[in-house]
Amino acid sequence: MSVKLHPSAEVSKDAKIGDGVQIWNNCQVREGVQIGENSILGKNVYIDADVKIGQNCKIQNNVSVYHGVTIEDGVFVGPHVCFTNDKHPRAINPDGSLKAASDWEVSPILVKYGAAIGANVTILPGVSIGKWALVGAGSVVTKDVPDYGIVVGNPAKMVGYADEAGKKLASKVRP
């Protein structure tokens, strides 16, 4: 096996890309990124510096994964998902000067094993999405999602639990 890299993709020489990874049109993978074996980045995906992506992940078109995000093995990220990292975003400081990297604090996001995130989801800084959790399309995740939890809406709210195949459980009891 080898890495499949589209000619239009821009991948830092300082990124660690696992065997069997596919990186498609117009992707940008920054320095310090780690991508595990057999993961797939769809068209127009942006992976910011030092992001960690596990093995066997599928990251669909137009996803933005910013600094401070860790995605464990087997995670699905639907199209147009945005991971954020700054709880107090501003372009300038109170004195009007342009903010520099030292003027803000990264709030990490963790997406655990086997989780699935639907299309057009926004994930706010500092949250964790549990293993095998499901985040419904269009949701805005503002707080942690438990293992196997299903959340939907803006803000995302718990509506039940899923099994490992992604089917909603009849009971509201966690597997």
- pLDDT score at 171: 73
pLDDT more than 90, % of the chain? 91
The model's pTM is 0.95
Q: Above 90 in pLDDT, residue 22?
A: yes
Whether residue 93 is contained in a domain is answered as: no
Q: Above 70 in pLDDT, residue 25?
A: yes
Mean pLDDT, the chain, whole residue set: 95
Whether residue 94 is contained in a domain is answered as: no
Q: Above 70 in pLDDT, residue 173?
A: no
- Give how many domains the chain has, as a whole number: 1
Task: For CA atoms 23, 27, 122, 50, give the dihedral sign.
Answer: positive
Q: What is the pLDDT of residues 47-61, one digit of tens each?
A: 999 999 999 999 999
* Beta-sheet pairing, 140-141 with 122-123: parallel
- pLDDT score at 97: 94
CATH number of the domain enclosing 145: 2.160.10.10
- pLDDT score at 175: 67
* Domain range for 142: 1-87+100-175
Query: Which pair of tokens denotes residue 1?
Result: 């096996």
Whether residue 53 is contained in a domain is answered as: yes
Q: Which residues are CB-neighbours of 99 under 8 A, at least 6 positions away? A: 90, 91, 92, 93
CB atoms within 10 A of CB 174: 13
- pLDDT score at 103: 82
